[in-house]
Amino acid sequence: MKGARVELIETIYEKRDHVAYVTLNREEAGHAFNVRMCDEMLHIWEDFKNDDDMRVAVVTATGTRFFCAGVDIKESRTRPMGHVWLPVARVMDEIYKPIVCAVNGMCVGGGLHLPIDSDILIGSENAQFFDSHVNVGLISGWEPIGLSRRIPLNYVLRMALQGKSYRIDAQEALRIGLLTEVVSADQLRERAAEIALEVAANAPLAVRNSKQAIKRSLDMGITNALELSAYMLKEVWDTEDVREGAAAFAEKRPPQFKGR
């Protein structure tokens, strides 16, 4: 699949220049998760995780009205869709390669998993975030727990308890730190690709270990977190990429990292 564009049924998967592009493609259904999309996403993220040529991913959606409307309510009547999505969330959580999430439109309920499980979040001017679980009788649990690691708790509680009555628009999301950048809808994909390429140009082992140290530290006290960081620094200290970085700096040229 290297260097290829694969149009599945509910998603589009493209890989080029060390970047994997994952595009939700159920615009007529607000890009809501159904069984087929979950199956495709599980395959995509497993492939990205195991492809050593891929250094960073970008996830977004077609259109501008919805980024992801969460679980497909029609299918959830016959089976627990949250359980179907859970393996996808777990795989994304295990990936230490960076993921850029470009939110174009409404991100609702279960759709919040994608930005929560990503690392760099940007959005278009029409991005909007809200949690509608309680409006349909469901518990809001996974999503607010993830959000509470990114934004102040009072915003998380309002989203979880008020449901669709409380919405965070793009500028408010930027102000509270959920988004790091807001651009026009027609610039979103290009800007996400620029960020991804900038990340991909850095030393892959250093990038992955940096993300791993930061994420794992969230479950630790400060002493253990610092010890973990020191251990992971030793893991890359004697790599070819470290020597290349030093040589490139001394020779005033761009480094050519190989991930080893």
DSSP assignment of 169-182 equals EHHHHHHHTS-S-E
Query: What distance lies between CA 252 and its chain's CA centroid?
Result: 33
pLDDT at site 80? 59
Quick one: CATH architecture of 204-251? Orthogonal Bundle (1.10)
Q: Taking 70 as the threshold, does the pLDDT of residue 81 lie above it? A: no
Q: How far apart are CA 119 and CA 97, in angstroms?
A: 9
What is the token pair recorded at 109?
A: 């309920």
Q: Which range, 114-118, 131-135, 253-257, has the best average confidence (pLDDT)? A: 114-118
Q: How confident is the model at residue 3 (pLDDT cuts 50, 70, 90)?
A: low
In the chain, the percentage of residues whose pLDDT exceeds 70 is: 94
Helix, strand, coil percentages, rounded to 5, for the chain: 50, 20, 30
Instruction: Tell me the whole-structure pTM to 2 decimals.
Output: 0.89
Phi, psi of 149 (to 5 degrees): -85, -5
In contact, 53 and 2? CB cutoff 8 Å:
yes
User: For all residues of the chain together, what is the average pLDDT?
Assistant: 88
Question: 128-182, pLDDT tens digit by residue?
Answer: 999 988 888 888 778 889 899 999 999 999 999 999 999 999 999 999 999 999 9
> Which fold, 5-200?
2-enoyl-CoA Hydratase; Chain A, domain 1 (3.90.226)
Q: Is 137 helix (H, G, I), strand (E, B) or coil?
A: coil
Q: How confident is the model at residue 115 (pLDDT cuts 50, 70, 90)?
A: very high
Q: How confident is the model at residue 79 (pLDDT cuts 50, 70, 90)?
A: low
Q: How far apart are CA 34 and CA 26, in angstroms?
A: 9
Q: How far apart are CA 207 and CA 202, in angstroms?
A: 7
Residues of CATH 3.90.226.10 domain(s) within the chain?
5-200
What's the number of CA atoms in the CB half-sphere (13 Å) around residue 160? 16
The number of beta carbons lying within 10 Å of the beta carbon of residue 142 is 17
What is the token pair recorded at 32?
A: 């809501």
Residues of CATH 1.10.12 domain(s) within the chain?
204-251
pLDDT at site 193? 97
210-to-93, 97, 98, 119, 213 alpha-carbon distances in Å: 15, 10, 10, 12, 5
Rg (CA), the chain: 19
